[in-house]
Structure 1
Amino acid sequence: MLDLFSWDWWQSLFGEHRLWIMFASAFLSSTVLPGNSEIIFLTIAAPLLWSGSHHFSIEVQSLLWVAVIGNTLGSLTTYVLGRWLPAFNKPPQNAGLGWALEKTQRYGSLMLFFSWLPIIGDVFCAVAGWLRLNWLACLIFITLGKIVRYVFLLFLGVAFL
C-alpha cells in the first residue's frame, strides 16, 4: 500500500519521475490552468546543483529542456484554443484583454517572447491564435522566451536558495 504521507514515498517519486513531473507542471502552468512550474523547477534543480552537478551537467540540462518543451507546448495549446475562438466585432470589455489585443496587433508574434509572464502571457498566446498569426514565428518567440525564463531561474533562482 502506498503511504502518501511518507517522506520516503515523495522522495522516491521525485527521484524516479522528476522529468515527467517537470513536464506536466510546465505544460499545465502555461495553459489557461493555474500552476507554478517555477517552484517545481527549482525544487528539482536545487538538489542536483547542491549535489555537485554543474549547470551544464546532463541532469540539469535535461531538466531545463524538459521544462522549456513542456512550457512551449502548453503555450501552443493555448494558441490553438485561441484559433478556435469565434470572431467578434466589438471591442473587448476587459481592459487586460484589450491591452493584450492592441499590443499583439501592433507587434505581432514578437509579443509572444513575453508568453512566460503570469496571466497576461496566456492571453498573448490566445490572442495570437485568434488573430491567426504565423504559427512558426509564434513557436520561435514562445520558445525563446521560455528558454530565457528557465535559464534565468537556473542561474539566479538557485543562487538565492
Structure 2
Amino acid sequence: MDESASLLALFTSSFLAATLLPGGSEAVLVGVLIAYPDLFWPALNVATLGNTLGGLSSYVIGRFLPDEQALSKKLGRHVHGLEWTRRRGAPILFLSWLPLIGDILCVAAGWLRINWASAAFFIAIGKFARYWVIAAAIS
C-alpha cells in the first residue's frame, strides 16, 4: 500500500472509530507510522481530522433527538449525566477520545445544543492529544 492509500485508510478508520461503530484507528495509525515514519505529522493530522469529523457526526445525531423538555419528562430524575455535561459545557468534549464515554459525550453535546464550533474545537484537541501520545510513543 502506498502513502496516499495508507492515509486514506487511516482517515476512514479514524472516522468510523469515532462514530457509534467499533473501530481500532490507533492500530492503523501505528501501522502507517511504522511503514512510513516520515508521515508523522500528516498521519497525525489525518487521524485527528477523521476522528473529529466522526465525533461531530455523533454531535449531529444528538441534535436530532427529542427536545430536552420532552426527554426530561420521560426520564424523570435519570438525567444526571446530562446535567454533568451541561454544567461543564464544551470543554468536557476534550474527553471525547475515551471509548464509549466519548461517543455519549458527543451525542449529549448535540442534544444540549452546545455551540458547534466550541464542540468541534474541544473534540479536536482531545482527539489530537490521544493520537499525539500514541504517535510519540512509537517514534
Per the normalisation by structure 2, the TM-score is 0.88
Match of 1:91 among 64, 75, 78: 75
1:130 aligns with 2:111: yes
Report deviation, 1:91. 3.0
Q: Which amino acid aligns with 1:140?
A: F
Query: Which residue is 1:121 aligned to?
Result: 102
Aligned residue for 2:97, secondary structure, equals coil
Report deviation, 1:99. 5.2
Query: Which residue is 2:14 aligned to?
Result: 26
Q: Which amino acid aligns with 2:75?
A: P
Q: In structure 1, how many angstroms separate the alpha carbons of the residues matched to 2:76 and 2:27?
A: 33
Report deviation, 1:123. 0.2
The sequence identity of aligned pairs, in percent, is: 41
- Counterparts of 1:1-161 in structure 2, within 5 Å, are 12=1, 15-49=3-37, 53=38, 59-87=39-67, 88-89=71-72, 90-91=74-75, 98=79, 100-156=81-137, 158=138
> Whose RCO is larger (CA < 8 A, sep 6+)?
2
Cα RMSD over matched residues?
1.9
Which structure 2 segments of 5+ residues have no match? none
Q: In structure 1, how many angstroms separate the alpha carbons of the residues matched to 2:12 and 2:25?
A: 9
Q: In structure 2, how many angstroms separate the alpha carbons of the residues matched to 1:39 and 1:91?
A: 38
Which structure 1 segments of 5+ residues have no match? 1-11, 54-58
**Deviations, residues 15-67 of structure 1 (Å, cap 9, x unaligned):** 55101100000000001111111111111112323xxx4xxxxx221111000
Structure of larger gyration radius: 1
Q: In structure 1, how many angstroms separate the alpha carbons of the residues matched to 2:76 and 2:29?
A: 35
